[in-house]
Amino acid sequence: MEKNTIIIISVVAVIIFVVLLLFVILPLAGFPVIPGTEDLYNGGGNGGIFG
């Protein structure tokens, strides 16, 4: 493998990790990433995806 290929793979992996963190882990932990979507995840009494 060339050095450049390894760098590109690393950058892509970091980007994917950050996107997953923002859109999966934080909402599950109760931090609304997009205002108004907290009801989608925790239900807010309306029965969201996770109760």
The DSSP annotation for 8-45 comes to HHHHHHHHHHHHHIIIIIHHHHT--SSTT-HHHHH-TT
Handedness of CA 6, 11, 12, 14 (dihedral sign): positive
pLDDT at 47: 47
> What are the boundaries of each domain within the chain?
18-51
pLDDT at 16: 93
Contact 41, 50 (CB under 8 A): yes
pLDDT at 48: 47
Q: What is the pLDDT of residues 28-39, one digit of tens each?
A: 776 666 665 555
User: pTM for the full model?
Assistant: 0.48
> Sorting pLDDT into bands at 50, 70 and 90, what band is 10?
very high
